[in-house]
Amino acid sequence: MTPTGISLDSIIICDDLYDQVAPSVSFGDNIYLVSWCDKRGEFPAIYCARLLPDGSVLDKDGFLVHLDTMKQINPISAFDGSNFFVVWSAFDVNGFGIYGKRISPEGNILDSFPITISFGTDSKYMPDISFDGYNYMVIWNDARLTGSESSDQWAARVTPEGVLLDTNGIPVDTQGGYQFNSSISFLNPYYLAAWTDDKSGSPDIFGKRISSLGTVIDASSIPICTQTGYQEGAACFPGVENFLVAWKDGRDGFENTDIYATFIDTAGAGIAEGVQPATYSDKISLIISPNPFSTSTTINFSGAQEIQIYDVSGRLVKNFILYPSSPLENASLTGQAFILPAKLEWDGMDDEGKNVSPGIYFCILRHGGMKVREKVLLIR
């Protein structure tokens, strides 16, 4: 498909006699790697095929990744700059596992035996994977704490050399309810995982940020969409500054589902939570000068209900209270927002009056669900 949305052709990757299902794709080193669950053998297994950007299929009908008596399903892959890593879930009478193998751009399988990411007697399935420039992060549904009736979200890091770093796994979300089918992506400095969660009695979309060191940043999950009806099937992808999360949405009824999306920044805040009045869209602005600064900087703004300063970890360091009696110059309160130009000073101190450390900070202006963000650099 071209960048303008024109379909060029239909490429036959595999048309073997038996079923091929659940395809996924990743790209690296000018090669597409397509993986799928294939039922041509005695047990479902994972197959892969490589494609060139011109549509040429290098591995017609694919190649078997691993021969096993376990039923292998749900393949997904990522590229680390040198090789691909394909992960999948598998099960038999002995238990459930999340496994993976590395594959070179030349189509060579680099691991004689699968890398066991997690195994247990309780169900584990639907993995997803992302790469942060140093390690892979794999996340999956896991029922080790809940039994077969529900699942939580667990994750683990794997190095490009195939070494499992988190042998016991990372408990991403083990709160009450049923969390399932995560999507994960990385945008420096964090991963964002988004999943379906039925803790309210109706499925909603929640998420959490995870650091490259495997630390779960958010103690409570981020409510990405909690509208009436049900929301499920989150898909998360990184952009230049924000994550985009899309999902199937049933707020208008079970038989009238739609596709909705929102942006989430690396501070874990939503950027496009709802439809905003067009009358404000051209009145919102945020300019910071000088930038970089060493002692103080001026925040020039309009259309603000909130202005806050966050550090790169997503921690709120300064919250400016905006109300009519605040010492703002040329401020006018209209519709609970300062619409006319206004300004305030930030002296590099937090809400406790302490000097913050030199580094990068983010100034965020909010008006309802609309948000403007500017990066500011403090030097001392």
78-112 core/surface letters (b: 16 or more CB in 10 A; e: else): bbbeebbbbbbbbeeeeebbbbbbbbebeeeeeee
Residues 249 and 109 in one domain: yes
The CATH number of whichever domain residue 301 belongs to comes to 2.60.40.1930
The CATH number of whichever domain residue 206 belongs to comes to 2.120.10.80
Task: Tell me if 5 is assigned to some domain.
Answer: no
- 52 vs 325, residue with greater confidence: 52
For residue 222, give both structure tokens.
């981020």
Residues 100 and 247 in one domain: yes
- Mean pLDDT over 1-9 rounds to 67
Q: How confident is the model at residue 343 (pLDDT cuts 50, 70, 90)?
A: confident
pLDDT value for 195:
97
Strands 124-131 and 136-142: antiparallel
d(CA 232, CA 243): 17
pLDDT value for 346:
94
Structure letter (DSSP) for residue 280 = H
Q: What mean pLDDT value characterizes the chain?
A: 87
- Mean pLDDT over 62-71 rounds to 96
pLDDT at 135 over 60: yes
First to last CA, the chain: 50
Spell out the residues 6+ positions from residue 154 whose beta carbon is closer than 8 angstroms to its own: 118, 124, 139, 140, 142, 144, 169, 170, 171, 172
Residues 86 and 152 in one domain: yes
Spell out the residues 6+ positions from residue 150 whose beta carbon is closer than 8 angstroms to its own: 143, 177, 178
Give 178: exposed, middle or buried? Use CB within 10 Å, 0-12, 13-18, 19+. middle
d(CA 75, CA 42): 18
pLDDT at 160 over 70: yes
If DSSP codes are grouped into helix, strand and coil, which group holds residue 261? strand
- 87 vs 328, residue with greater confidence: 87
Is the CA virtual torsion 155, 161, 164, 165 positive or negative?
Answer: negative
pLDDT value for 335:
40
pLDDT at 250 over 90: no
pLDDT at 148 over 70: no
Question: Domains in the chain: how many in total?
Answer: 2
pLDDT value for 336:
42
Residue type, 342: A
- Mean pLDDT over 155-162 rounds to 98
d(CA 279, CA 294): 37
Task: Tell me if 9 is assigned to some domain.
Answer: no
Contact criterion met (CB below 8 Å) for 230 and 260: no
pLDDT at 274 over 70: no
Residues 190 and 148 in one domain: yes
Which pLDDT tens digit goes with each residue over 208-219? Answer: 999 999 999 999
Strands 297-302 and 285-289: antiparallel
For residue 180, give both structure tokens.
């399932």
Residues 308 and 344 in one domain: yes
Task: Tell me if 187 is assigned to some domain.
Answer: yes
Q: How confident is the model at residue 280 (pLDDT cuts 50, 70, 90)?
A: very low
Task: Tell me if 41 is assigned to some domain.
Answer: yes
- The residue segments making up the domain with residue 168 are 20-265
Residues 88 and 212 in one domain: yes
Is the CA virtual torsion 51, 52, 55, 60 positive or negative?
Answer: negative
The alpha carbon torsion through 19, 92, 108, 85 (nearest 10 deg) reads 100
161-170 core/surface letters (b: 16 or more CB in 10 A; e: else): ebebebeebb
Residues 254 and 367 in one domain: no
